[in-house]
Structure 1
Amino acid sequence: MTIHFAAARGSNGNSSNGDRALSPVARALSRRPILRVANDNGQLSNGLGCNNPLMQAALRHFAQHGLSAASEAAKCAEDAFTAGDREAYDWWIGVCRTLDKRMAAEIQRKNAVG
């Protein structure tokens, strides 16, 4: 048996998108309005806002390296760790964490520095 789906009818019998759907099925299948809009100008859940120097550096690094930015930051963190430069290591692991939390956690686990 073939099942055909029809567009939900509005309050005036038309199927235009501006009409409010009356049937329970149509209401259940309709999209809900977005109540809270994402905004990149505010504070993020991890406390990094757009004015944070680490966030700005991560965004600049991403603009320069594209999708390989996290792995490039990880390489820089590894180089700093090998050189014994703790301050540079913390900076690059922070950039890497901003771009890819799992990769940064793996590097920290590997180097046993936290």
Structure 2
Amino acid sequence: MPMGYASAMHFRPANDNRGKAVDNTHLRAALRHFAQHGLAAADHARRQAVAAADAGDRPTFEWWLEICRALDRRMASRIDAPVSA
């Protein structure tokens, strides 16, 4: 393999997290949530956000949305914001 071959193949990082950054409070909460729920943590956070949205609880919805975003940005982007809140 020629020198520089591997670096030429990678034009950008595999984990390209562009967009809104997650603040430290939500990041710490997401890490605790991951420790408790493991690989299902993002889905659990998504379900919590959807339940809060259905209940019309905007602050709780936003909290869980940020937790979900910290764990899985794509999953969080598919959550519809509550219309009535």
- Aligned residue number for residue 34 of structure 2: 62
Q: How many residues align?
A: 73
Q: Does 2:60 align with 1:99? A: no
> Which one has a bigger Cα radius of gyration?
1
- Higher normalized helix content (fraction of residues): 2
| Offset of residue 59 of structure 1 | 0.3
Checking the alignment, whether the CA contact within 8 Å between 2:22 and 2:66 is kept in structure 1 is: no
Unaligned runs of 5+ in 1: 1-24, 33-43
Aligned CA distance change for structure 1 residues 48 and 63 (closer, same or farther; 3 Å): same
Ranked by relative contact order (alpha carbons within 8 Å, sequence separation 6 or more), the top structure is 2
Checking the alignment, whether the CA contact within 8 Å between 2:29 and 2:67 is kept in structure 1 is: yes
Q: How does 1:25-64 map to 2 (within 5 A)?
A: 25=2, 28=3, 47-48=21-22, 52-64=24-36
1:73 corresponding residue in structure 2: 45
Q: List alignment gaps of at least 5 residues for structure 2.
A: 8-16
Contact 2:68 2:76 in 1 (8 A): yes
Q: Which residue of 1 aligns with 2:11?
A: none
Structure 1 consecutive aligned stretches of length 4 or more whose deviation exceeds 6 Å: 29-32
Q: Residue 13 of structure 2 aligns with which residue?
A: none
Residues 70, 29 of structure 1: CA spacing in aligned structure 2 closer, same or farther, 3 A cutoff? Answer: same
RMSD: 2.6
Say which SS state the counterpart of residue 84 (structure 1) adopts. Answer: coil
Matched-pair identity in %: 42
Query: TM-score, normalised on structure 1?
Result: 0.54
Amino acid at match of 1:103: M
Q: Aligned partners of 1:61, 1:98: CA distance in 2, in Å?
A: 10
Normalising by structure 2, we get a TM-score of 0.70
Q: Distance in 2 between matches of 1:91 and 1:55?
A: 11
